[in-house]
Amino acid sequence: MNFYYKILLSFFLLFKAGIAYSFENPRIDLGNFLINKYEITILEYENYSTQNNIKTQAEITGGGYEWFGGWKKRKNWNYLNPYGEKPKTKLEPAVHISRYEAENYCNYLNGRLPTYQEWSLAAYTQLLQGTNYKINKTYKFPSGDMPEKLNTQDSLNFNKHVAVTTLSDGINGLVAMGGNVWEWIDNQSGSDSLTAGGSWWYGSGKTTKDGAQYKPSDFYAIYVGFRCVFDKN
């Protein structure tokens, strides 16, 4: 086997393993803050956890949760194995992450979880020039006037979350602010934290501004991920 063939074979095997070294999660500048374009991915969270020797509660306790006539703990379901086995790509969103674990990740990058005011402004109001959306207009869905190309049961209907890079840009160039997975928000009510955007498990109604829901802050499930915001210096 010659040298160049070995190199090509190595890249092919890495590709099959779902390792994406070139992935970048841009921070979109919305004036008063920046926000991740994509939901935080398995790849990003794995790099963070490896560097800091961190285990999530889903890993420590043996699994995360799925709704099946009630919340069921699923053995070996965690952010590395979202459905109990290795994902096809590490560019799927990191799920089975609690609000506190998401917050710690953002803080590590000198960021934080968004407030709902920030998140909803980014998701529904077009603030940037140069797109198909009207600047300063507030839309019903993160995809515009209609719930188009959202990973929900009544739109794309993948019936599971998918890699963030497979979904279309929405308002402000952000991806999957509606559908795919719920996202943790900084707003708290007692021991609960807000989640926004809905997930693949629901119809598009949950992706509207009124669809946000509180969940226990220490909860972790297949349906919930997050993204970070960053203050401007």
Apex 102 CA angle, 37 and 173, nearest 5: 10
**10 has pLDDT over 70:** no
Q: Summarize the confidence of residues 92-108 as an average pLDDT.
A: 98
**31 has pLDDT over 60:** yes
Closest CA to 80 of 216, 177, 218, 222: 222
Q: Summarize the confidence of residues 80-103 as an average pLDDT.
A: 98
Helix residue spans in the chain (DSSP H): 3-16, 42-52, 57-61, 99-108, 116-124
> pLDDT at position 21, please?
54
Tokens linked to 192: 């609960």
Q: Quick one: pLDDT band at residue 224, thresholds 50, 70, 90?
A: very high
Mean pLDDT of the chain: 92
Domains and CATH numbers, the chain: 25-231 (3.90.1580.10)
Q: What's this model's pTM, rounded to 2 decimal places?
A: 0.90
Closest CA to 28 of 200, 206, 169: 169
CA distance from start to end of the chain: 53
CA 130 to chain centre: 25
Q: Summarize the confidence of residues 194-205 as an average pLDDT.
A: 98
Over residues 139-184, the pLDDT tens digits come to 999 999 999 999 999 999 899 999 999 999 999 999 999 999 999 9
Who's near 96: CB < 8 A, 6+ residues apart?
56, 58, 64, 65, 77, 78, 79, 82, 220, 221, 222, 224
> pLDDT at position 233, please?
75
**17 has pLDDT over 50:** no
- C-alpha 147/C-alpha 149 separation (Å) is 7
- C-alpha 68/C-alpha 75 separation (Å) is 14
> pLDDT at position 221, please?
98
> pLDDT at position 3, please?
38
**16 has pLDDT over 50:** no
Q: Quick one: pLDDT band at residue 8, thresholds 50, 70, 90?
A: very low
Over residues 175-191, the pLDDT tens digits come to 999 999 999 999 999 99
